[in-house]
Chains A and B, each alone.
Chain A
Amino acid sequence: MAGLHKSEFENPVIRWVDSRLPIFTMMQKEYGVFPTPRNFNYLWNFGALAMVNLVIMIATGIFLAMNYTPHATMAFDSVERIMRDVNFGWLLRYVHANGGSMFFIVVYIHLARGLYYGSYKMPRELLWILGVVILLLMMATAFMGYVLPWGQMSYWGATVITNLFSAFPLVGDYIVTWLWGGFSVDNATLNRFFSLHYLLPFVLVGVVFLHIAALHITGSNNPLGIEVKGPQDTLPFHPYYTIKDSVGICVYLIVFALLVFFAPNYLGHADNYIPANPLVTPAHIVPEWYFLPFYAILRSVPDKLGGVLLMFGSIGVLALVPWLDTSPVRSARYRPVYRILFWVLVLACAVLLVCGGKPPEGIWVVLSRVATAYYFLHFLVILPVLGKFERPLPLPESISRAVLADGGGGGPLPGGAAAKPMEKA
Chain B
Amino acid sequence: MGFLRIAAAAALLALATPVAATAAEGELTFPPQNWSFSGPFGTFDRAAAQRGFQVYSEVCAACHSVKHAYYRDLGGIGLTHKEIEAIAAAVMVPSIDDDGQPAERPARPSDHFRAPYPNETAARATFNGAYPPDLSVIIKARAGGADQLYNLLAGYAEPPADMKLGDGMYYNKYFAGHQIAMPAPLSDGRVTYADGTRASVEQMARDVTTFLAYIAEPEMEVRKRLGVKVVLFLIFMTGVTYAAKRKVWADVH
Interface residues of A (CB under 8 A from B): 38, 41-43, 77, 80-81, 83-84, 90-91, 94, 105, 109, 112-113, 116, 235, 239-240, 243-244, 246-247, 250-251, 253-254, 257-258, 260-262, 264-267, 270-271, 273-274, 283-284, 286, 289, 292, 343, 346, 350, 353-354, 357-359, 407, 409, 411-414
In the complex the two chains form, is B252's CB within 8 Å of A235's CB? yes
Q: What's the least CB distance linking B43 to chain A, in Å?
A: 14
B194 — which chain A residues lie within 8 A by C-beta? none
Supposing A251-B238, A261-B223, A270-B141 touch, asked if A244 and B245 sit within 8 A by C-beta, the answer is yes
Bound-complex Cα distance A81 to B218 (A): 12
In the complex the two chains form, is B10's CB within 8 Å of A354's CB? no
B20 — which chain A residues lie within 8 A by C-beta? 354, 357
Q: Which among A84, A246, A273 is the interface contact of B141 at CB below 8 angstroms? A: A273
Q: What's the least CB distance linking B65 to chain A, in Å?
A: 12
In the complex the two chains form, is B18's CB within 8 Å of A105's CB? no
Binds A, one of B52-60, B90-98, B132-140, B200-208: B132-140
Bound-complex Cα distance A250 to B33 (A): 35
B226 nearest CB neighbor, chain A only: A261
B139 nearest CB neighbor, chain A only: A273
Bound-complex Cα distance A64 to B18 (A): 26
CB contact list, B131-179 vs A, under 8 A: 133, 136-137, 140-143, 145, 176
Supposing A77-B68, A109-B7 touch, asked if A246 and B241 sit within 8 A by C-beta, the answer is yes
Interface size class of B (residues with CB under 8 A): 35 or more
Query: What is the predominant secondary structure among interface residues of chain A facing chain B?
Result: helix
B40 nearest CB neighbor, chain A only: A262
In the complex the two chains form, is A411's CB within 8 Å of B251's CB? yes
Supposing A83-B219, A240-B252 touch, asked if A257 and B143 sit within 8 A by C-beta, the answer is no
Supposing A247-B238, A414-B252 touch, asked if A346 and B10 sit within 8 A by C-beta, the answer is yes
B125 — which chain A residues lie within 8 A by C-beta? none
A38 nearest CB neighbor, chain B only: B252
Bound-complex Cα distance A106 to B140 (A): 27
In the complex the two chains form, is A353's CB within 8 Å of B143's CB? no
Q: What's the least CB distance linking A190 to chain B, in Å?
A: 20
A266 — which chain B residues lie within 8 A by C-beta? 18
Asked whether B25 is an interface residue with its Cβ less than 8 Å from the other chain, the reply is yes
Interface core residue of A91, A257, A264, A358 (most chain B CB under 10 Å): A257
A-B contact list, 14 entries, CB within 8 Å: A80-B136, A90-B219, A105-B14, A109-B11, A244-B245, A254-B231, A266-B18, A270-B141, A273-B141, A274-B141, A283-B26, A289-B18, A346-B10, A357-B20
